[in-house]
Amino acid sequence: MTTKTAPSGPTSDSDIRDLPDVSGIVNETARLVVEHYVFPEVADRLAALLRRRLAEGAYDLAVTSPATDPAKDLATDLATDLATDPAKDLAKDLAKDLAKEPDKEPPAGTAAAARLARLVTADLQSLNGDPHLRLKHHVEPVPEGRGAAALSAMRREFDASLGGVPGIRLEAAGVAVLELAPAFFPLEWSAEPLTAALTLVSRADALILDLRGNTGGDPETVAFVCSYLFDERTHLNSMYWRAGERLEQSWSLPYVPGARFGGSKPLYVLTSGRTFSAGEELTYDLQQLDRAVVVGEPTGGGAHPREGWTLHPHLEATIPVGRSVNPVSGTNWEGTGVQPDVPCPAAEALDRATALARAAVAVPAPRTP
């Protein structure tokens, strides 16, 4: 296979036309941050930073290093995206393919959009490190409109993951494992598969919820899942929203379809560094209420629900519009992550939790031959 020498910049008029409207995207991102970010005082500083960096030429995508291979550059940008939003298997596969086959150059605008996302995100997170505050690159084109990009991506994941319930099994006598991943999808989509799965595991003597691959989703769905894990209506979380400066409480439901696992049997939650956002909320809610034992790694540390605005076919500005306020701790897991009760590598978490569950329900461990 022959490799191509990367050009020093856009090589044709069509390449230049395909480049994103950098000025328009950056200025619109700054405007949205000022208008919607949950911390207004930080928002003003970030907007000023973006505009200053734009004026300095920090986001000039028409200049490419002569040593840059566009395919490998896009692969690097996608890997960066995966580090902060790790549930994108499609992006991972594309990054590998591009890195292996450098003569298949992506369109200039696609690679440039990924680079712009990386540069702007670094500046957006430079003041307070908010992982939800991003200019997010999407490999697949996304529709226009507020929230449309996230829903489009989530729909593909929903269809590919059995509605967010990719795994359910009996790990040991009386000990069930329920994997909820890659996200907590909107309840109007996910209520049916979740009801079926949670009703099935309600018969177990102990339950292990595997959230190691859960990267977020809908707080309403978190409350729905929690409703199967308590006997009485329980205050789970509160959310402060910048719009209207209101505090909205989240409670478990007084009634659920199907059968409850209930609030007295042993419950364990598995976590990893990939567990994020709404996945962390469920973990934190159960931990603070002394309902579950958390086993695994500290989670990603994102407690600010966000909205998204499509600014380009491959770019979405994601801006936190609220923050969690737990009724027990009075705070949340932003920046710190949820700290496990039983720390261990994520790969060992299931074995550790299974051993704890066996002991709790007095199930003897299998004999080794």
For residue range 19-45, list pLDDT tens digits in order: 799 999 999 999 999 999 999 999 999
Q: Which residue has the tokens 């936190």?
A: 320
Three-state SS string across 298-352, please? CCCCCCCCEEEEEEECCEEEEEECEEEECCCCCCCCCCCCCCCCEECCHHHHHHH
As given in the structure block, the two tokens for residue 17 are 């036309």
Q: What angle do CA 199, 279, 175 make, to 5 degrees?
A: 40
Residues 197-211, mean pLDDT to the nearest whole number: 98
15 — pLDDT class (breaks 50, 70, 90): very low
Q: Which residue has the higher pLDDT, 88 or 186?
A: 186
Among 33-37, 99-103, 227-231, 243-247, the least confident range: 99-103
pLDDT of residue 92: 43
User: What is the per-residue pLDDT across 65-123, written as a single tens digit (0 to 9) for each?
Assistant: 333 444 444 444 444 444 444 434 434 443 443 343 344 445 556 899 999 999 999 99
Radius of gyration of the chain (CA): 22
**DSSP reduced 3-state for 35:** helix
Phi, psi of 306 (to 5 degrees): -125, 160
Mean pLDDT of 44-71: 79
pLDDT for the residue numbered 61: 86
Residues contacting residue 98 through CB under 8 Å, at least 6 positions apart? 71, 72, 74, 75, 78, 104, 106
Residue with tokens 């020498």: 5
CA 258 to chain centre: 28
Average pLDDT over residues 331-353: 98
Cα–Cα distance for residue pair 71/185, rounded to 1 Å = 32
- pLDDT at position 362 is 83
> Up-side HSE of residue 327: CA atoms within 13 Å toward CB?
14
Residues of the chain with pLDDT > 70: what percent?
Answer: 80
Question: What residues are paired with 6 via a beta bridge?
Answer: none
Question: Does residue 260 register a pLDDT over 50?
Answer: yes
DSSP symbols for 242-277 = TGGGEEEEEE--S--SS----SSS-EEEEE-TT--T
Predicted pLDDT of residue 110: 83
Where does the pLDDT of residue 367 fall: very low under 50, low under 70, confident under 90, or very high at 90 and above? low
What's the sign of the alpha-carbon dihedral 2, 6, 10, 12?
negative
What's the length of the chain? 369
- Judged against a pLDDT cut of 80, whether residue 312 lies above it is answered with yes
Q: What is the mean pLDDT of the segment spanning 257-286?
A: 98
Rounded (10°) CA dihedral 62, 68, 70, 74: -100
Q: What is the pLDDT of residue 364?
A: 62
Mean pLDDT value across the chain: 87
Q: What is the pLDDT of residues 124-147, one digit of tens each?
A: 999 999 999 999 999 989 999 899
Measured CA to CA, the distance from residue 247 to residue 31 in angstroms comes to 25
Mean pLDDT of 322-341: 98
Mean pLDDT value across residues 250-254: 97
Distance, in Å, from the CA atom of 368 to the CA atom of 265, rounded to the nearest integer, reads: 28
**Domains observed in the chain:** 14-139 (no CATH), 162-361 (3.90.226.10)
What's the pLDDT score for residue 72? 46
Terminal-to-terminal C-alpha distance of the chain: 51
Query: What pLDDT was estimated at residue 107?
Result: 59
Question: How does 167-187 read in b/e, with b if 16+ C-beta sit within 10 Å?
Answer: ebeebbebbbbbbbbbbbbbb
Extended beta strands in 125-245, E state: 134-137, 167-172, 175-179, 206-210, 235-241
Residues 240 and 175 sit within 8 Å (Cβ to Cβ): no
pTM assigned to the model: 0.83
